[in-house]
Amino acid sequence: MINIVLVDDEQLALDELAYLLEKASYVRVIGKFTDAFRALEFCAFEEPDIIYLDINMPGLDGLSFADKLHKLGCKSNIIFATAYEEHALNAFDKGAIDYILKPYEPERILKSLIKFKRNLTVKMEEKSIRKISVTDGDKICFLPIDEVLFFEASNSKVSIYTKHQIYQSNENLSSIEAKLSADQFVRTHRSYIVNINHVIEASPYFNHTLMIRVQGYKIEIPVSRSYVKKFKALMNFN
């Protein structure tokens, strides 16, 4: 399911775009906003897959909205939907994946969704490494990524846990995360990245967090509040 937020100061434009998007069975509009500031707060927390964003809006225009969103660390894809052609170059400079002109045409809306899915596929292919280099004593080994159960950062070192052995990496956790498939590996805490294919149980913990375990280890891995929602979505439970 593709989660989408719509931002436009005209309610009729919001309703029309929502109607056209929801004709696709794999789309869910999770928010419609005429107030750009409220939309920014919502998107920074929810991180929808796509934000369809008008440009000429009072208080906070679409281009400034995109700048603020990126500064907040939100990685949602932006598609600008506007009546004005002249902002296209600036829009793509802001990292937009598409630029749609009003009045909306159903076929053009569908093409924007197809473009998003193609863009997502390319990103996943670029990120999905098959092996990772690890140190084993004085040797460098190349470990199939599917064998990794989880990564743990501690005392400026990253340990890589497999079913039979624990290896060390010379990279930091953020560098490793950037190379991993987001469909298979999830950050659960500032110190942990977990292969969801090996998670065997999850238990509620303090303040709406979780503790999880992977097969072969009794270690309890925390899922902090910042990552609970994404973890639950990937594991398909509430």
Mean of the per-residue pLDDT values of the chain:
91
Tell me the whole-structure pTM to 2 decimals.
0.59
Task: Lowest mean pLDDT of 9-18, 171-180, 204-213, name the range.
Answer: 171-180
Q: Choose the weakest-confidence range: 40-49, 120-129, 177-186, 218-227.
A: 120-129
State residue 82's pLDDT score: 94
Beta carbons of 94 and 51 less than 8 angstroms apart? no
Domains of the chain, residue spans: 2-126, 131-235
Contacts (Cβ under 8 Å, ≥6 apart) of 108? 100
Q: What CATH number does domain 131-235 carry, 2.60.40.10, 2.40.50.1020, 3.30.930.10, 3.40.50.2020?
A: 2.40.50.1020
pLDDT at 137: 81
Task: Give dist(CA 63, CA 92) in Å, integer.
Answer: 10
Domain boundaries 2-126, corresponding CATH code:
3.40.50.2300
For residue 229, pLDDT beyond 70: yes
Q: How confident is the model at residue 101 (pLDDT cuts 50, 70, 90)?
A: very high
Order of strands across the sheet that contains 131-136: 139-144, 131-136, 166-169, 157-162, 148-154, 192-195, 185-189
What are the tens digits of pLDDT across the range 154-208? Answer: 988 899 999 989 999 988 888 888 888 888 899 999 999 999 999 999 999 988 8
Q: Are 44 and 72 in contact (CB under 8 A)?
A: yes
Q: Where are the alpha helices (DSSP H) in the chain?
A: 11-21, 36-46, 62-71, 88-93, 106-127, 173-177, 225-235
Which pLDDT tens digit goes with each residue over 116-158? 988 877 666 555 678 898 888 888 889 999 999 999 999 888 9
pLDDT value, residue 128: 63
Query: What is d(CA 207, CA 229) in angstroms, rounded to the nearest whole number?
Result: 13
At residue 226, does pLDDT exceed 70? yes
Q: Is the pLDDT of residue 75 over 90?
A: no
Take residue 43 and report the two structure tokens written for it.
């998107």
Mean pLDDT value across residues 212-228: 93
Residue 223's pLDDT is 95
% the chain with pLDDT above 70 = 97
